[in-house]
């Protein structure tokens, strides 16, 4: 007879990676006793949200690329999980010179936009998108989705797939330059690189082609009710199949003895035992804090230490009342034609210029999120983590009066800039709160408040760790993105499910 602190599998973190691993395991093996330990009091990690005075805000992700008809959703449906979604259309709009250029997922509508604003590039854009489709078809057929393409990888596909042979070792900038001539039009497509926090000469041509082809074929979706509704539904489904979630509990240590995982120790001292642990938590923290350097070899530690983090930023949450925003695209950016490669360079050099601000209006996708005459706007700004002396936190990273003052100044500057697109916005604001990189670090326990974990071109990729029976799930190994984190969790769940079944 097992005691209440003994489990078959312990999962650290109820982010989308942890929830999908748990859901796979529990749906396939209802007899298993699995538990997810989550330090917050809500599920979803960065796929989540909160309410202030009845108004809903997404606190991280706001769109899921090619979710509705994608492979991960198909697996979720097979596991008995469904959540309705709405199309985000346009996917993004660029506000420039008092006008919007809409990046529609619909090809026809996109081409009308291009023809109106950049008529000389229309034929080139058609050829460019066709090439992205052709590359993506080969990716789908070959399953060749590695962000780090080696010559050996390439050898495996070289004979059957001419486009992968041609572009496999090339960067996205090459593809752009080959088809497009106008830097403004190239920049419209470089926007997608910011989703991975990379420059166009850092992301491989096949990965970018895959994103662009899928964005302009299947589009980007938003869960009905917002990201929190999706995460809660996903957490409920896991529980219905017998899984347990323990909120407001932080894992302090992963217990290892004789090189094998034995369970976890919580910050209140409780020990939970289990032969398997899956970490959906931050990679650096998992390795250096929860497991401890003494359990890894030098090369592995060196490799993990070397990895750079992706990107972070600030989110400004606003409740507005008595303002009609329905004429605005649900997602748009105010970006003064800044080159997106240059934006990433500036951020990595430590600058925050307010040059790129993303505006998200959830109620323009799901009208039920508007309450009476009130609704939320979320403004997103990429910023360096350590900008302005770590956001004026003191040496112990505490936030005092200086931090509050800086947040006030940043809020004012952001609103002033957004007013170039939404005139008189400030007159309608009844609530405002700024989340900084320090907020993300504190609430999500993400190193340096990183939004997409490790830089996509440096990810670990493998759900197996060097420690026996310690597995990973989520963006810390797959790279950022709801889709990739979800898929990664499903893969980890599937691997463990098969392993457990074989050992029965
Ligand atoms: C502002 C923002 C906007 C984004 N926009 C998009 C978008 O539009 N589309 C998109 O696809 N992606 C987007 N992303 C990225 C995407 O949200 C993430 O890559 C993905 O959700 C990560 O999921 P995850 O499960 O790997 O990790 P996380 O969401 O980070 O989950 C980790 C979980 O583990 C918990 N945890 C950590 N340590 C411990 C511990 N010691 N004990 C207990 N619990 C612990 C955390 O509390 C958290 O719940 C965005 C991210 C941010 C921040």
- Residue 2, domain member (yes or no): no
Same domain assignment for residues 47 and 140: no
Last residue within a domain, chosen from 197, 217, 237: 217
- Residue 98, domain member (yes or no): no
Tens digits of per-residue pLDDT, 281-335? 999 999 999 999 999 999 999 999 999 999 999 999 999 999 999 999 999 999 8
- Residue 167, domain member (yes or no): yes
β-pairing verdict for 9-12 and 34-37: parallel
Same domain assignment for residues 418 and 463: no
For ligand 1, what atom is nearest to the CA of residue 63?
8
**182 vs 165: which has the higher pLDDT:** 182
Same domain assignment for residues 78 and 191: no
* Ligand 1 contacts CB of residue 47 (under 6 A): yes
- Residue 294, domain member (yes or no): yes
The answer on pLDDT for 168 being more than 90 is no
Q: Which domain holds residue 414?
A: 313-449
Give ∠ CA 357-60-402 in degrees, rounded to 5.
65
The answer for residues whose C-beta is within 8 angstroms of residue 6's C-beta and 6 or more apart is 33, 272, 273, 274
How far apart are the CA of 14 and the centre of ligand 1, in A?
A: 9
Tally of domains within the chain: 3
The answer on pLDDT for 63 being more than 80 is yes
Same domain assignment for residues 295 and 370: no
Q: Which of 235-239, 280-284, 334-338 has the lowest mean pLDDT?
A: 334-338
How far apart are the CA of 393 and the centre of ligand 1, in A?
A: 23
| Tokens 């990201």, located at residue | 227
Q: Which residues lie across from 50 on neighbouring strands?
A: 57
* Residue 270 backbone class (left: φ over 0; alpha: ψ -120 to 50; beta: rest): beta
DSSP 308: P
* Ligand 1 contacts CB of residue 92 (under 6 A): no
pTM above 0.85, yes or no: yes
**395 vs 25: which has the higher pLDDT:** 25
Q: Which of 38-47, 100-109, 494-503 has the lowest mean pLDDT?
A: 494-503
How far apart are the CA of 330 and the centre of ligand 1, in A?
A: 22
* Ligand 1 contacts CB of residue 485 (under 6 A): yes
**396 vs 383: which has the higher pLDDT:** 383
Which amino acid residue places its CA nearest to atom 30 of ligand 1?
45
Same domain assignment for residues 361 and 461: no
The answer on pLDDT for 147 being more than 70 is no
Which of 324, 428, 418, 334 is closest to 367 using CA atoms? 324
Q: Which of 223-227, 458-462, 468-472 has the lowest mean pLDDT?
A: 458-462
Mutate which of 14, 45, 88, 255 for ligand 1 pocket (most atoms within 8 A of beta carbon): 45
Same domain assignment for residues 275 and 302: yes
**Residue 56 burial by CB count (10 A; 0-12/13-18/19+): exposed, middle or buried?**
buried
**186 vs 148: which has the higher pLDDT:** 186
Same domain assignment for residues 44 and 153: no
- Residue 352, domain member (yes or no): yes
Q: What is the mean pLDDT of residues 146-171?
A: 80
258: its two tokens: 């004789």
Quick one: pLDDT at residue 157?
Answer: 73
Same domain assignment for residues 331 and 421: yes
Residue 124 sits in a domain of what CATH number? Answer: 1.10.405
Same domain assignment for residues 174 and 256: no
| Tokens 């994103």, located at residue | 211
Q: Which residues of 294-311 are buried (b: 16+ CB within 10 A; e: fewer)?
A: ebbeeebeeebeebebbb
- Beta-strand ranges (E) seen in 224-353 are 244-246, 251-257, 260-266, 271-273, 276-279, 313-321, 331-334
Last residue within a domain, chosen from 183, 217, 251: 217
Same domain assignment for residues 260 and 187: no
The answer on pLDDT for 249 being more than 80 is yes
Same domain assignment for residues 349 and 426: yes
Quick one: CA dihedral 380, 386, 392, 394, positive or negative? positive
Quick one: pLDDT at residue 462?
Answer: 87
- Assign 145 a pLDDT band (cuts: 50, 70, 90): low
Which amino acid residue places its CA nearest to atom 12 of ligand 1?
481
Q: What is the mean pLDDT of residues 259-267?
A: 97
46 with 15: CB under 8 angstroms?
A: yes
């Amino acid at each position: 007879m097992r005691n209440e602190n003994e489990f078959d599998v312990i999962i650290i973190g109820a982010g989308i990676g942890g929830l999908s691993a748990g859901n796979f395991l529990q749906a396939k093996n209802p007899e298993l006793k699995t538990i997810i330990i989550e330090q917050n009091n809500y599920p979803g990690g960065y796929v989540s949200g909160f309410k202030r005075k009845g108004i809903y805000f997404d606190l991280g992700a706001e769109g899921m690329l090619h979710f509705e008809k994608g492979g991960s959703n198909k697996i979720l449906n097979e596991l008995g999980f469904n959540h309705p979604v709405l199309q985000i259309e346009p996917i993004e709009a660029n506000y420039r010179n008092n006008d919007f250029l809409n990046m529609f997922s619909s090809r026809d509508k996109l081409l009308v936009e291009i023809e109106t604003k950049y008529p000389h590039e229309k034929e080139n854009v058609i050829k460019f998108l066709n090439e992205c489709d052709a590359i993506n078809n080969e990716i789908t057929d070959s399953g060749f989705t590695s962000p780090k393409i080696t010559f050996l990888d390439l050898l495996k596909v070289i004979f059957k797939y001419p486009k992968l042979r041609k572009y496999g070792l090339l960067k996205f900038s090459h593809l752009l330059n080959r088809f497009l001539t106008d830097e403004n039009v190239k920049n419209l497509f470089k926007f997608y690189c910011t989703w991975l926090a990379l420059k166009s000469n850092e992301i491989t041509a096949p990965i970018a082609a895959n994103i662009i082809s899928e964005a302009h074929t299947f589009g980007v979706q938003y869960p009905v009710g917002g990201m929190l509704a999706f995460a809660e539904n996903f957490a409920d489904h896991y529980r219905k199949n017998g899984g347990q979630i323990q909120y407001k509990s932080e894992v302090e240590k992963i217990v290892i003895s004789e090189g094998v995982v034995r369970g976890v120790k919580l910050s209140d001292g409780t020990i939970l035992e289990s032969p398997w642990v899956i970490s959906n938590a931050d990679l650096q923290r998992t390795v250096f804090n929860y497991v401890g350097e003494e359990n890894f070899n030098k090369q592995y530690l060196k490799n993990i230490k070397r990895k750079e983090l992706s990107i972070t930023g600030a989110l400004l949450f606003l409740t507005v009342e008595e303002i009609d925003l329905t004429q605005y695209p649900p997602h748009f950016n105010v970006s003064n034609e800044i080159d997106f490669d240059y934006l990433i360079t500036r951020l990595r050099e430590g600058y925050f210029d307010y040059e790129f601000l993303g505006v998200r209006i959830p109620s323009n996708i799901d009208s039920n999120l508007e309450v009476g005459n009130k609704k939320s706007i979320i403004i997103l700004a990429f910023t360096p983590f350590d900008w302005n002396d770590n956001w004026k936190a003191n040496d112990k990273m505490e936030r005092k009066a200086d931090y509050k003052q800086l947040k006030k100044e940043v809020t004012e500057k952001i609103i002033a800039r957004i007013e170039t697109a939404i005139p008189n916005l400030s007159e309608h604001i009844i609530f405002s709160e700024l989340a900084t990189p320090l907020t993300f670090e504190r609430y999500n326990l993400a190193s340096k408040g990183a939004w997409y974990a490790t830089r996509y071109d440096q990810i670990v990729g493998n759900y197996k760790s060097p420690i026996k029976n310690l597995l990973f799930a989520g963006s810390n190994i797959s790279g950022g993105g709801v889709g990739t984190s979800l898929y990664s969790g499903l893969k980890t769940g599937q691997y463990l499910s098969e392993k457990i079944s074989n050992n029965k």
